[in-house]
Amino acid sequence: MFKLICLSLLQCAFLASGQVFLKFAMQRMDKFSWTWKFFSALMVNWPLLASGLSMVAASLIWFHIIKHNDLSLVYPMISLSYIFGTVAAVFIFHETVPLVRWLGVLFIMIGVAFLAKSA
């Protein structure tokens, strides 16, 4: 179980970092348009590449996790990435997160703890 939790945390960290890099990438871009200028700017947007690499890493770890564990156990564990994302929103993007969202994060943590206990 310890190995599964560690792998799930690593996978969720890659998922959340992929979203953080994607937000950085989109902040660097001009307004969306179906133009060569827009898409050529995407090609040299390093945070977009970092986002893709993070997602690939998360997917590879996920392949291993679902091959060796029950989907009904591990799929809800992906929700841990919401916790990482919320923390990143506060510390990286300096967003204000209201109390009700923190309560949601707490409920997610409690739910994952119940899942881990039941396995």
Q: Give this prediction's pTM.
A: 0.83
Report pLDDT digits (tens) over 84-104: 999 999 999 999 999 999 999
Which pLDDT belongs to residue 87? Answer: 93
Q: Give helix 2-28 / helix 46-68 axis angle, nearest 10°.
A: 160
Which pLDDT belongs to residue 2? Answer: 86
Q: In terms of residues, how long is the chain?
A: 119
Spell out, as residue ranges, where the chain has pLDDT lower than 70.
Answer: 119
- Whether 49 contacts 79, CB under 8 Å: no
Which pLDDT belongs to residue 119? Answer: 65
Who contacts 11 (Cβ-Cβ below 8 Å, separation ≥6)?
A: 58, 61, 62, 65, 78, 81
- Within 10 angstroms of residue 14's Cβ, the number of other Cβ atoms is 22
As given in the structure block, the two tokens for residue 7 are 């792998």
Where does residue 57 rank: exposed (0-12), middle (13-18), buried (19+ CB within 10 A)? middle
Which pLDDT belongs to residue 86? Answer: 93
